[in-house]
Structure 1
Amino acid sequence: MALRNIRKYGDDILRKKSRKVDVINDRIITLLKDMEETLYEEDGIGLAAPQVGVLKRVIVVDIGEGIFKLVNPEIIYSEGSYTDREGCLSIPGTQGEVKRPRKVKVKAINEKGEEVIIEGEDLLARAFCHEIDHLNGILFVDKIIKKEGEK
């Protein structure tokens, strides 16, 4: 395992759409492990492959309840909404209020190649939405309703 460099705001890769993963191979397993290690080192709750320079549809999320390592994640259901503060490892020092679904269901492939459906509420739903946005070249600053410090 190795720590990966996190790409910062302004890096073109953060605005590109990630490619679907066709097969879970050693490279994808290594990527997932490296992303997990990098996430914990940076004290984040989510990380998407483009943030470490890889245009693949891969995310890791841990809000303190255990790691989710997901390949080709997609939101298949959402309900409700709420607004809360977000930040991003790729945009240090910036936070703002973002409206997200209160509950989501995410379909993905786990690191064993099995299809999984995960339900997330509140912070977990927010983290899934934030990381899946990264896979589509969308950053949370594109969705900020109010920047931190604004009235």
Structure 2
Amino acid sequence: MIKEIVKDIVFLEQKSELATKDDIEVVNDLIDTLRANLDSCVGMAANMIGIKKRILVFTVGDTIIPMINPIILKKEMPYKTEESCLSLTGFRETIRYEKIEVEYFD
């Protein structure tokens, strides 16, 4: 189901909890909501739809990849870039990495 995008900064700053098998509908809702926003978004986290769980989805070409309980194991080659977010207005400078190694459930 397509969900409304949360814009409450206080909520967005809260720590997310580990996801469980019972959270599969959150994954489906994130995928539906991302598909509805593909013109302006390449990825979404569960907190963006009001769920404090460690779940995100993102696009690689035409494929949407879910990551459940992701953990960054390694990051290399940092660079500065600007990005925006459906939950926040405007653009922000941030550091991203050319290579990352992530462990997650799918």
What is the TM-score normalised by the length of structure 1?
0.64
SS of aligned partner of 1:36: helix
**Structure 1, unaligned runs of 5 or more:** 111-151
Match of 2:15 among 14, 17, 24: 17
SS of aligned partner of 1:80: strand
Looking at structure 2, the residues matched to 65 and 106 of structure 1 have their Cα atoms a distance apart, in angstroms, of 21
Q: How is 1:2-151 mapped onto 2 (pairs within 5 angstroms)?
A: 2-8=1-7, 10-21=8-19, 23-25=20-22, 28-43=23-38, 44-92=41-89, 94-110=90-106
Looking at structure 2, the residues matched to 6 and 29 of structure 1 have their Cα atoms a distance apart, in angstroms, of 19
Q: 1:138 maps to what in 2?
A: none
Identity %: 30
Looking at structure 2, the residues matched to 83 and 11 of structure 1 have their Cα atoms a distance apart, in angstroms, of 23
Q: How many residues align?
A: 104
- 48-57 or 77-86: which moved more? 77-86
Report the RMSD for the aligned CA atoms in angstroms: 1.4
Can you list the C-alpha shifts for 1:106-140, whole angstroms capped at 9, x where unaligned? 10011xxxxxxxxxxxxxxxxxxxxxxxxxxxxxx
Task: From the two aligned structures, give the one with the greater strand fraction.
Answer: 2
What is the TM-score normalised by the length of structure 2?
0.89
Looking at structure 2, the residues matched to 40 and 59 of structure 1 have their Cα atoms a distance apart, in angstroms, of 13
- Give the drift of 1:97: 2.7
Runs of 4+ in 1 over 6 A off after TM superposition: none
